[in-house]
């Protein structure tokens, strides 16, 4: 009896010890470090220009495979489809009319609370690579550490599209350096080294890998990839006008080449994360800042800023296995640029600052619903450069419709499901009268929610003390891409 009692006590002690150990493991898993965040931002990559998105030409095997593991937002849009405004909205979660960041080459004020500052306050290591375009001190100048908005590890540049000799500044070193060879490959190599070095850190990391391709110039893509796209094999979209077909074919050859090369570079980052067993607890995003028209709607290649899908629609894939999302899930409701920061914070269980204007749609990411819908507000406050003569606009994009207004009144209404190339403007047609009224109401509500009265460009230029020089800065992007023009800032602050 005594022996049995002793055995029972020993067994109880052993069981208690095991339970305590398991409890500690459980507590550790519950209180494990917050998810890493790897945000891969590309430049001028159209939402349609991927294999998984149905493009009949482009080869993007790595991102196609990633789409099978991620949530695919098929109607992600850029709040203002041009570089600086999108990047400012991404980092702040705020609209261009609230920050004044509605032109290129202007400075994002240090007073704005930004992504890296928020994550850093939660114990994250923060790192940035590549194109920044938020400093406003000149494209060649060093973005000094005090102006990096909370990013500590730094190998970036204000703006450079010379992909075979792209410059950058490293951390606290003021000396200009150059990426070796074709920059997307060199950038991701350094990013992978960072992941390896920090894989076992107690603190999580926030990485923004900003790759400037497939933005023009397109003829600088490596020949190996251009050879994959013979001109005679490229199929143009039906809304590309005859005027621009020849030029669009030539540009698409290099554009797709950049896409395929960049896809290969991104694939190495995805592989590194898997290799180090970080996938489960890492939020990975692939997206772009805007698209480009490429001859669609009779608009020449390189142009963006407009409310057409070729300009506003961007890819957006997001993966976070720990939350148990069905792989390959699709969301057709739009996600807008200001929504991205609060949604990442929501997924990471970080409090969203009151300054953020975008919506936290983490719930939709966790529970993807292809039938859900939202109205995403898009704007061009003051068209500049080659778009100077275009009108200001405010627009909304839902999963089915695009509706836009200029100061003179409604300008476009497209049913993007029945008319995916936006070739039939339904504006003011009797059969869509109620739909148009509903979209107009939604647009007004979106504007009211951020206090935007939708005035003409002159009002906003004066409010933010900007000067826009029409003649001096309406750059011929085609000539510049061929090295024949001089690229200058479109504004003076």
Q: Which residues are catalytic?
A: 83, 133
Q: Give the separation between CA 150 and CA 82, rounded to whole angstroms.
A: 23
> What is the bridge-based pairing of β-strands 316-319 and 71-73?
antiparallel
Residue 32 CB-half CA count within 13 A = 12
Using CA of residue 242, residue 246, residue 251, residue 252, what is the dihedral sign?
positive
- DSSP letter string over 59-113? --HHHHHHHTTSEEETT-B-SSSSHHHHHHHHHH---HHHH---SSS----TTS-
E strands, 191-314, are 205-214, 282-288
Q: Give the separation between CA 221 and CA 202, rounded to whole angstroms.
A: 40
Q: Tokens standing for 284?
A: 């990975």
Q: Give the separation between CA 415 and CA 400, rounded to whole angstroms.
A: 6
422 CB neighbour count, 10 Å cutoff: 18
Three-state secondary structure call for residue 129: strand
- Chain centre to alpha carbon of residue 16: 50
Q: CB within 8 A of 56, min separation 6: which ones?
A: 235
Q: Give the separation between CA 95 and CA 41, rounded to whole angstroms.
A: 19
430 CB neighbour count, 10 Å cutoff: 6
CA geometry: angle 117, 288, 88, nearest 5 deg: 35
What single DSSP character describes residue 430? Answer: G
Quick check: 403 and 436 in contact, CB under 8 A? yes
Using CA of residue 93, residue 94, residue 96, residue 99, what is the dihedral sign?
negative
Q: Tokens standing for 412?
A: 């476009």
Q: Nearest CA to 317 among 368, 386, 259, 387?
A: 368
Three-state secondary structure call for residue 340: helix
Q: Is the peptide bond before 277 cis (omega within 30 degrees of 0)?
A: no
């Amino acid at each position: 009896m005594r022996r049995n009692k002793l055995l029972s006590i020993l067994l109880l002690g052993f069981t208690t010890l095991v339970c305590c150990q398991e409890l500690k493991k459980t507590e550790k898993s519950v209180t494990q470090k917050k998810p890493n965040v790897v945000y891969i931002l590309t430049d001028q990559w159209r939402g349609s220009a991927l294999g998984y998105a149905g493009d009949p030409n482009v080869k993007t095997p790595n991102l196609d495979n990633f789409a099978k593991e991620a949530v695919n937002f098929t109607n992600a849009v850029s709040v203002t489809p041009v570089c600086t405004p999108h990047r400012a909205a991404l980092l702040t979660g705020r609209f261009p009319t609230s920050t004044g960041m509605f032109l290129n080459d202007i400075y994002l004020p240090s007073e704005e609370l930004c992504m890296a500052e928020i994550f850093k306050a939660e114990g994250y290591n923060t790192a940035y690579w590549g194109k920044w375009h938020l400093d406003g001190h000149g494209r060649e100048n060093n973005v000094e550490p005090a102006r990096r908005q909370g990013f500590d590890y730094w190998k970036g540049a204000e703006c450079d599209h010379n992909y075979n000799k792209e410059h950058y500044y490293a951390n606290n070193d003021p000396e200009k350096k150059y990426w070796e060879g074709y920059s997307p490959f060199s950038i991701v190599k350094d990013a992978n080294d960072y992941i390896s070095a920090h894989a076992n850190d107690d603190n999580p990391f926030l990485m923004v890998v900003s790759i400037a391709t497939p933005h023009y110039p397109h003829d600088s893509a490596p020949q190996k990839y251009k050879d994959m796209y013979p001109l005679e094999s490229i199929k143009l979209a039906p809304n590309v006008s005859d005027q621009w077909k020849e030029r669009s074919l030539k540009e698409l050859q290099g554009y797709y080449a950049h896409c395929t090369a960049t896809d290969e570079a991104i694939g190495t980052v995805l592989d590194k994360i898997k290799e180090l067993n970080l996938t489960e607890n890492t939020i990975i995003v692939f997206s772009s800042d805007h698209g480009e028209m490429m001859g669609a709607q009779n608009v020449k290649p390189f142009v963006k800023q407009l409310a057409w899908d070729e300009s506003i629609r961007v890819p957006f894939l997001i993966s976070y296995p720990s939350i148990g999302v069905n792989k390959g899930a699709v969301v057709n409701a739009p996600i807008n640029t200001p929504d991205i920061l609060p949604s990442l914070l929501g997924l990471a269980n970080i409090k969203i600052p009151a300054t953020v204007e975008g919506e936290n749609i983490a719930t939709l990411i966790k529970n993807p619903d292809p039938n859900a819908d939202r109205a995403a507000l898009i704007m061009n406050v003051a068209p500049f450069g080659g778009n100077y003569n275009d009108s200001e606009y405010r627009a909304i994009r839902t999963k089915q419709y695009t509706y836009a207004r200029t100061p003179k009144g409604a300008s476009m209404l497209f049913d993007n499901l029945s008319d995916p190339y936006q070739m039939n403007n339904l504006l003011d047609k009797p059969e869509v009268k109620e739909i148009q009224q509903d979209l107009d109401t939604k647009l007004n509500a979106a504007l009211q929610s951020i206090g935007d009265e939708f005035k003409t460009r002159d009002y906003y230029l004066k409010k933010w003390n900007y000067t826009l020089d029409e003649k001096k800065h309406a750059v011929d992007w085609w000539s510049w891409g061929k090295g024949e023009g001089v690229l200058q800032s479109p504004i003076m602050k």
